[in-house]
Amino acid sequence: LNFSSDNSYGVADEIMAAVVAANRGAAVSYGGDDWSTRVSARFAELFEHEVEVFLVPTGTAANALSVATLTPAHGAVFCHAESHIHLEECGACEFYALGARLVPVGGFAGRMTVPGLKAALARYPGIRHDLVPSALSLTQSTECGTVYPVDEIAALAGLAHENGLGVHMDGARFANAAAALGHAPADITWRAGIDILSFGATKNGAIAAEAVIVFDRARGRDLFHRRKRGGLLVSKTRFLAAQLEAYLADDLWLRLASHANAMAARLATGLASLPAVRLAWPVEANEVFPVLPCALAAKLRKSGAVFHDWTASGLAGTEHAPSPDECLVRMVTSFRTEAGDIDALIAAARRLAGGN
Amino acid sequence: LNFSSDNSYGVADEIMAAVVAANRGAAVSYGGDDWSTRVSARFAELFEHEVEVFLVPTGTAANALSVATLTPAHGAVFCHAESHIHLEECGACEFYALGARLVPVGGFAGRMTVPGLKAALARYPGIRHDLVPSALSLTQSTECGTVYPVDEIAALAGLAHENGLGVHMDGARFANAAAALGHAPADITWRAGIDILSFGATKNGAIAAEAVIVFDRARGRDLFHRRKRGGLLVSKTRFLAAQLEAYLADDLWLRLASHANAMAARLATGLASLPAVRLAWPVEANEVFPVLPCALAAKLRKSGAVFHDWTASGLAGTEHAPSPDECLVRMVTSFRTEAGDIDALIAAARRLAGGN
Amino acid sequence: LNFSSDNSYGVADEIMAAVVAANRGAAVSYGGDDWSTRVSARFAELFEHEVEVFLVPTGTAANALSVATLTPAHGAVFCHAESHIHLEECGACEFYALGARLVPVGGFAGRMTVPGLKAALARYPGIRHDLVPSALSLTQSTECGTVYPVDEIAALAGLAHENGLGVHMDGARFANAAAALGHAPADITWRAGIDILSFGATKNGAIAAEAVIVFDRARGRDLFHRRKRGGLLVSKTRFLAAQLEAYLADDLWLRLASHANAMAARLATGLASLPAVRLAWPVEANEVFPVLPCALAAKLRKSGAVFHDWTASGLAGTEHAPSPDECLVRMVTSFRTEAGDIDALIAAARRLAGGN
Amino acid sequence: LNFSSDNSYGVADEIMAAVVAANRGAAVSYGGDDWSTRVSARFAELFEHEVEVFLVPTGTAANALSVATLTPAHGAVFCHAESHIHLEECGACEFYALGARLVPVGGFAGRMTVPGLKAALARYPGIRHDLVPSALSLTQSTECGTVYPVDEIAALAGLAHENGLGVHMDGARFANAAAALGHAPADITWRAGIDILSFGATKNGAIAAEAVIVFDRARGRDLFHRRKRGGLLVSKTRFLAAQLEAYLADDLWLRLASHANAMAARLATGLASLPAVRLAWPVEANEVFPVLPCALAAKLRKSGAVFHDWTASGLAGTEHAPSPDECLVRMVTSFRTEAGDIDALIAAARRLAGGN
């Protein structure tokens, strides 16, 4: 009953098999191998667009490189206050962007709004003693388990472009969003105004493989050097590329994400049926954020369930804010979560909550 | 007949098997897994010393983090002019050390000397308008395929410590040096004055796994944050740790390196027996640097051999400097190189060089 | 009728005379001169404490060096959302602190509160993937023309110290605060928990002279190198030190500031007597922030008055927030402002506002 | 008898008078004042070229901003091994250039040669794992008191441009070079290939005033933000601009430098006439580098002369290298040095050298 993180589970069998299969003969290192060539072509096909592809071993690296290439050191980068780049990457964006600033923007359920972004931009008019507004970073699916509709992405990206900003999408859980939206990858990225995408695979079944996808080549010019300089260019690139090749083959990425999403929906439905539990935010991807009595959370853990507490600061002032004896927790489902585990958790919660 | 790089070959079977075996059940991410705990303990045992261990996916990352933790941004870090951190890592050390300076120090065959280091230190007296001498980085085995004797390491590290510098060892090919020297790992590291070690595994059979080994805990305090900030903390750490666990088990690391070294010795002996070929530097690890007629190098490549040209700047003014129609090349052997391939290369060289 | 900035006026006569007088004979450069020695001693006496003193030519430099010495690159520095370091220094703190983050904290009238700081700290619990809370920066007097009472400084600094943070005071207008509070400089700095102070003189009559005053010597260790590296160590330091020597002599600094404060009080009283005008924040130092009809502001400017518009974002949701046809403006008085100018401005405002 | 530094003397009377005169009435701060406008126009006239002008208080700042605007963080900047930016600015260039590397290039008497620069460039071929060669910095007059002829500057700048590098001139002593060469400022800067110039005034009579002169506007785009971010934008810019206005008026800058040069020539002639003394390098500007018996240097100091020891590493292997009982020292003349002082020093040296 482990719902702690999509990183806690292992690796999808197809991906591991591809890595094992790649261990054959000599191959050029540092990206000159056939796997890397093929996976770049595959990404171009998938996104219906010429792309530059930079493979890296972590999502933090993908985000930081992406943001860094969009901003000068004296730039201001707008992101959601709850976003991963703002709160959980130890300032990697500031490091790779050589001291640029992340400007937190609020918004319910992990989603920025156009008025919210406008207000934040108004604080950085770009007159001469200020930092220069340079980039917008959107997270899809969000840290709150929600998904931006395409028109919201387009509206935010449009506002950003009008103000001269480049637009990044943190897609650590891009597969979950794509599966939820059902649109073509192109429609929810460059056609909606995304200039550069962190395309995640690790949380959805890879060992350690993420891709920076550059839709506007002019923006990605120096990424080769930035990646190397960051110690992020692995030498035996074939093993990184092989993971992504398997991930993209036969829509594996979407199949894995759809399963995780379905498990989250099942979990959400079950939890919402309990009188003592309510959901902080709509469940649109593979994360569920129940507000529940702290006593119940403790009992569930004692019974073997694993999940993390979550900060309720994003709920402050809303109807969903926890009361003093309530807790907000996060439960994440993965490509490997089984329906039986969901049902067992719900049954345990019902038993432990109710006395019935 | 591929002698281009120790990164060109794949992964040792024992290591791949360990990765596959680790793909079982849930595990805590970000270093909290059992594999990581065990591998840290194993390193302490191997080095007969308490250690802090930080696993990262690349050697450049290991070096840059190590150097960065030894120097302030206004520090000067002394390294060999031919060293990997100086010439082939795109300034990763300067990036992680937030603008500190690498000071190149000369020395024959990739090895710094005590007088050479003294002269370099004299240029940085540490008076108030200068950068502050902060660290020494030694490479073992060196970029020229040579190995520092223990007493030379101790002498250089001693001089560094006298001057207040911390001492780093770039051990991307530490296994080859350890196998060549036959000493205990402790004897050639902390007992000789090394404060922090980049312990490489990737070149010697891993997928992508290096360890920063901190012998002086006070020095490694902020490495956790620096690693995360660099996007270098992989989420599913068990797969990184599993590689190193297998690598250290049953002396696999030394067995693989000993094989590579033996192949290099066989190659060196064979090449040296050809009148048209001489060796630029002694062959003490797994790299061979022949000076040969450029025409012969071209013929060998046409016949299928793969190897890189190498800069001869380190030979300038010595008896080994190539004449205008000679080339310096690098041939690297690996854990997977076969004696038959060596013999085939030598036979080809003899045939192509000699007309006989 | 220039109320645009305390930088618009020139230099106090005593200070200019000291600079002219210092132009005599040879002197050691880079801080080895007698003026520098004397001014350091004078600061120690003034603050009743051993101090390290670092003279620099700008307030931005003083702030950035101070903050940088209190934080690692992976640190979080808490400051008021309206503070100069956050909004008007082009990210100088992030630059000098090598990528550390400024965390904006709200609070009425430019003043942070203990609950506000607590809430901000709660977002940076210092667990391992986060930035490490490292410093607090307070502005005295504030950007809103208010002054922290000593007990509020002590409470905020106390909370900071409990959490392991160092405490900086941006004293670009320290003289105005000191004059307003009437306490000994020691009482409103180190005795209240300030570890490092940007002691401003430029806004209050110097040409270009600010001092970083380090009360905790351990914290200032690397400031000499940081200052040099920032290009902030002027060569002919005697002319910088001479300004500060004159500034501190015979309480000139307090006399100049008291005058500016008195002029601000006179201006505030006069403006508040007009029905069309109200004051956004209490006037406690040398800045006045009237909310007035935009039409009136335009007429005042046409009549020759010079002052800046100011962002009203800090008033959002309060009773003082401007209505759509009202504007928030800033009027600054200086050591050189004359009572006649104040009275003329008020008379003009009365005439232009009233139709009479 | 103070020959320690051109910074040891005070300020030229015309410049001090201009500062005093500027202290009148209100003026726009941060560069919007009339003095700044006039001085920019004057520079355009002087250099016969449209220019962007950025005033800063130190030469280190001027150099670091200039170099930073020519290089990405992953760039390599070529400079003379003895240059001020390399040895005496505490890594300011690396700081402002966000971690770019200074690559030291040798060359007799502080001057780089075309073959020397070619060899250095060959070490940075710009293939993908290397730093990218980005800029060349030349010092005029040099740290050894010599002056590049115009054709040497043109040849070096030409080689740099062919390789895609921007070209900076460190002109901390530009006036001394201009006075020595007798060419128009345009001829020895942009017409010879200089893209950006640190135009110094402080060493030649100003209080603290240097100008970054950008000849290629595209290169200087972000200097406004970089200067502000570095804490280098003084608020009361009129006092900085007034210094430079006076400096450029009526060729004051050339008159002051010509005097200093003449005094150095007089000193050189006198010293060279002593059998115990020889000159390390030709005296072409305002610095003299005698090699003399250490005992004589000590006696001269005891008699009241002030001058610095200098590193002889640049003389290693040449006929001028000091013997073990000889010392290399530096004697600097300034706009204020008097012929009588020169003659007194020579007389003292003759007396003390002679055993009589």
pLDDT digits (tens, 9 = 90+) for D24-79: 999 999 999 999 999 999 999 999 999 999 999 999 999 999 999 999 999 999 99
pLDDT tens digits, one per residue of D84-110: 999 999 999 999 999 999 999 999 999
Q: What is the mean pLDDT of chain A?
A: 95
> What mean pLDDT comes out for the span B282-293?
97
Using a CB-CB cut-off of 8 Å, the residues of chain C touching B229 are 73-74
Q: Do A25 and B19 touch (CB under 8 A)?
A: no
Mean pLDDT, all residues of chain B: 95
| Distance of alpha carbon D309 from alpha carbon D330, whole angstroms | 6
Question: Quick one: pLDDT at residue C355?
Answer: 53
- Give the pLDDT confidence score for residue A313 in this predicted structure: 84
Per residue in D130-171, pLDDT tens?
Answer: 899 999 999 999 999 999 999 999 999 999 999 999 999 999
Pairwise CA distance, residues A120 & A77, whole Å: 10
Taking 80 as the threshold, does the pLDDT of residue A221 lie above it?
no
Name the percent of chain C lying above pLDDT 70: 99
Mutate to test the interface with A, among D65, D96, D127, D128 (most CBs of A within 10 A): D128
Q: How far is B122 from chain C (nearest CA, A)?
A: 19
Tell me the chain A residues in contact with residue D73 when contact means C-beta distances shorter than 8 Å: 98, 229
* Contact between chains at C230 and D92 (C-beta distance less than 8 A): yes
| Residue A132 distance to chain B (closest CA, Å) | 22
Decide if B259 contacts B179 (C-beta within 8 A).
no
D130 with B73: Cβ contact below 8 A = no
As a whole number of Å, the end-to-end CA separation of chain B is: 21
What ranges make up the beta strands (E) of A57-97?
A: 75-80
Between A74, A90, A98, which is nearest C131 by CB? A90
Q: What is the mean pLDDT of residues B99-122?
A: 96
Name the residue facing B94 among D87, D94, D130 (closest C-beta).
Answer: D94
Confidence of residue B356 (pLDDT cuts 50, 70, 90): very low
Nearest CA to B204 out of B237, B248, B235 is that of B248
Give per-residue pLDDT as tens, A249-298: 999 999 999 999 999 999 999 999 999 999 999 999 999 999 999 999 99
Q: Using CB atoms, pick whichever of D11, D16, D230 lies closest to residue C230.
A: D230
CA D214 – CA D68 distance, rounded (Å): 13
Predicted local confidence at residue D306, as pLDDT: 95
Contact state of B26 with A2 under an 8 Å Cβ cutoff: yes
pLDDT tens digits along D216-238: 888 887 999 999 999 999 999 99
Least confident residue range of A310-319, C15-24, C251-260: A310-319
Q: Any idea which residue has 């260039």 for tokens?
A: D93
Nearest-Cα distance to chain C for D225, in Å, is 7
Measure C87 CA to nearest chain A CA, in Å.
7
* Nearest by CB: B99 against D91, D129, D313: D91
Query: Tens of pLDDT along D292-348?
Result: 999 999 999 999 999 999 988 888 888 889 999 999 999 999 999 999 999 999 999
Question: Cβ–Cβ of D313/B129 closer than 8 Å?
Answer: no
Report pLDDT for C290. 97
Report phi then psi at A331, rounded to 5.
Answer: -125, 125
Is A313's CB within 8 Å of C130's CB? no
The structure tokens 């110290």 sit at: C161
DSSP state of B330: E
Q: How many CB pairs under 8 A join A and B?
A: 158
Those residues with Cβ within 8 angstroms of residue A305's Cβ, 6 or more apart along the chain or in another chain: A1, A2, A3, A345, A348
Q: Which residues of chain C lie closer than 8 angstroms to A7, CB-CB?
A: none
Residues of A in contact with D224 (CB under 8 A): 128
- For testing the chain B interface, which of A4, A33, A95 should be mutated: the one with the most B CBs within 10 Å? A95
Residues comprising chain C, all counted: 356
What per-residue confidence (pLDDT) applies to D356? 41
Nearest to A99 by CA among A61, A65, A72, A126: A72
Distance from CA of A119 to the nearest CA of C (A): 9
Strand partners, D199: D171, D211
Contacts of D46 (CB under 8 A, 6+ apart): D185, D248
**Does D57 contact C62 at a Cβ distance shorter than 8 Å?**
no
Which pTM was predicted?
Answer: 0.97
Q: Could you tell me if C210 and C199 are in contact, meaning their C-beta atoms sit under 8 angstroms apart?
A: yes
Locate the chain D residue with the closest alpha carbon to A32: D128
CB contact under 8 A, B228 and C98: no
Residue C24: burial class (beta carbons within 10 Å; 0-12, 13-18, 19+): exposed
pLDDT of residue D355: 53
- How far is it, in rounded angstroms, from Cα B10 to Cα B19? 14
CB contact under 8 A, B130 and D94: no
Task: Provide the pLDDT for residue C356.
Answer: 41
Answer whether D72 sits within 8 Å of A128, measured CB to CB. no
Subunit contact A225:D99, Cβ cutoff 8 A: no
- Closest Cα partner for D54 from D44, D67, D72, D40? D40
- From the CA of C55, how many Å to the nearest CA of chain B? 16
Identify from A90, A310, A328 which residue to disrupt to test chain C contact, counting C C-beta atoms within 10 A and taking the largest count. Answer: A90
Distance CA D138, CA D136 (A): 7
For residue D61, the chain C residues in CB contact (below 8 A) are: 230-232
Nearest Cα residue in chain C from D59: C231
Phi, psi of A47 (to 5 degrees): -95, 0
In 10 A of CB C160, how many CB atoms? 24
**D213/D203 Cα distance (integer angstroms):** 17
Average pLDDT, chain C: 95
Compute the average pLDDT of residues C190-194. Answer: 98
Is residue B173 within 8 A of residue B203, CB to CB? The reply is yes
Whether C231 and D232 lie within 8 Å, measured CB to CB? yes
Residue B239: list chain A partners with CB under 8 A: 11, 207-208
Quote the pLDDT of residue B6: 87
pLDDT above 80 (res A23): yes
Helix (H, G, I), strand (E, B) or coil at C61: helix
Looking at the complex, report in whole angstroms how far the Cα of residue A298 sits from the nearest Cα belonging to chain D.
Answer: 48
pLDDT tens digits, A66-103: 999 999 999 999 999 999 999 999 999 999 999 999 99
Which residue in B has a C-alpha nearest to residue A337's C-alpha?
A: B26
Contacts of A234 in chain B (CB under 8 A): 57-58, 202, 208
Q: Tell me the pLDDT tens digit for each residue of C16-40.
A: 999 999 999 999 999 999 999 999 9
